[in-house]
């Protein structure tokens, strides 16, 4: 041993435990059940907020930014109507149906008008031919409420040789006034189902097979908020529109592979005879405004975020649709719509009573 060297005994050597102890107390990295739950809740909350924000972005992008499909891809030809495809519009003589007929003609389609009144059909056909020189029009009178086989055979004969690019299933019927289901007249119930469900199935079945063969087509089905937010005192009508929403989604997925676009148009109030609204506003467009917006946004969801083959194209309708789907409680909506329809019924009954007294 050299001079000045230090003797180190075995007992003086530091062991790992002594070093750790010298460093002081160490934090415990094990998660307690409470902290793990808080982290999980934070993750879920972040995902929920992110999803909510994404849906909000989708809403405004679809309504205000992103363009829809060009209607010309479905066979329009404004330069030469002899080469243009046909658009078939049911319920074509009033309101939204009339506007679809006029505006699709201006876009370059020949028009087959289908409705109940021969006189009104002739008047709208003449109006279209004046507004869109060169367009071809055909008319077919049919009362869909009757479900008459001869009338359907006549329609099928008219459709047989037409190159149809667009089908607008616009025909529809609601209750005369809001009414509890238990008090609804059987004839009214049957008419609603015959017009809103069976006629749409039968007309679509006549037209869609040829669209599949041509690998091209557009099918627009006029829906209603009553089919999304189930409406008490309009139970049969609401049920018919809920059917149309489900059927449109199934049909859209079936026809997607054949290059056919299907869209349920989820519609709130529009100025029309059916809605009984006479004054337009930001919330309630005229038929001309509504149809123009539809044709600009084909293939976009608008307010129907997350619902395939469904569109709520009018901006204020879109915002209400989005709110009812993602914010407002369903039980509250049912109660609110019941109170709303009950008030409408009372006003309608008072109005009818006054009319009887004054006559």
Residues classed as catalytic: 237
User: What distance, in Å, lies between the first and last C-alpha atoms of the chain?
Assistant: 134
The single residue listed with the structure tokens 């080469």 is 83
Q: What are the angstrom distances between the C-alpha of 61 and each of 86, 162, 318?
A: 31, 37, 12
**Residues 285, 263: Cα–Cα separation, whole Å:** 20
For residue 304, give every residue at least 6 positions away whose Cβ sits within 8 Å of its Cβ, in sequence order, or none. Answer: 266, 310, 311, 312, 318, 321, 325
Sign for the pseudo-dihedral over CA of 209, 125, 275, 61: positive
Phi, psi of 137, rounded to the nearest 5 degrees: -130, 150
> Under a CB-based contact definition with an 8 Å cutoff, are residues 96 and 287 in contact?
yes
224 is in an annotated binding site: yes
Annotated binding site for substrate: 224
Annotated binding site: 224
């Amino acid at each position: 041993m050299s001079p000045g060297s230090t003797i180190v005994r075995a007992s003086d050597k530091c062991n790992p435990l002594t070093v750790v102890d010298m460093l002081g107390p160490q934090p415990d990295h094990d998660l307690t059940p409470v902290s793990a739950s808080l982290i999980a809740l934070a993750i879920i909350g972040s995902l929920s907020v992110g999803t909510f924000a994404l849906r909000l972005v989708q809403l405004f992008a679809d309504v205000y930014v992103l363009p829809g499909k060009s209607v010309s891809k479905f066979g329009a030809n404004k330069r030469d109507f002899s080469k243009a495809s046909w658009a078939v519009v049911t319920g074509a003589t009033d309101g939204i149906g009339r506007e679809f007929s006029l505006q699709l003609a201006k876009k370059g389609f020949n028009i087959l008008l289908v409705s109940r009144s021969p006189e009104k059909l002739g008047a709208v056909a003449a109006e279209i031919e004046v507004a869109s020189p060169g367009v071809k029009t055909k008319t077919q009178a049919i009362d869909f409420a009757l479900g008459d086989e001869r009338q359907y055979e006549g329609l099928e004969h008219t459709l047989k040789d037409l190159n149809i690019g667009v089908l607008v299933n616009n025909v529809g019927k609601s209750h005369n006034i809001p009414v509890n289901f238990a008090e609804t007249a059987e004839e009214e119930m049957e008419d609603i189902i015959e017009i809103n469900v069976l006629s749409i199935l039968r007309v679509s079945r006549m037209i869609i097979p040829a669209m599949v063969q041509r690998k091209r087509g557009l099918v627009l089905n006029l829906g209603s908020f009553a089919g999304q937010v189930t409406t008490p005192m309009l139970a049969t009508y609401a049920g018919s529109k809920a059917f149309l929403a489900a059927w449109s989604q199934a049909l859209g997925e079936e026809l997607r592979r054949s290059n056919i676009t299907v869209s349920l148009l989820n519609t709130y109030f529009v100025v029309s005879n059916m809605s009984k609204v006479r004054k337009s506003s930001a919330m309630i467009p005229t038929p001309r405004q509504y149809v123009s917006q539809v044709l600009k946004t084909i293939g976009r969801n608008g307010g129907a975020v997350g619902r395939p083959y469904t569109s709520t194209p009018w901006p204020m309708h879109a915002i209400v649709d989005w709110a009812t789907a993602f914010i407002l409680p369903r039980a509250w909506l049912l109660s609110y719509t019941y109170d709303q329809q009950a008030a409408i019924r009372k006003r309608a009954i008072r109005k009818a009573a006054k009319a009887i007294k004054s006559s």
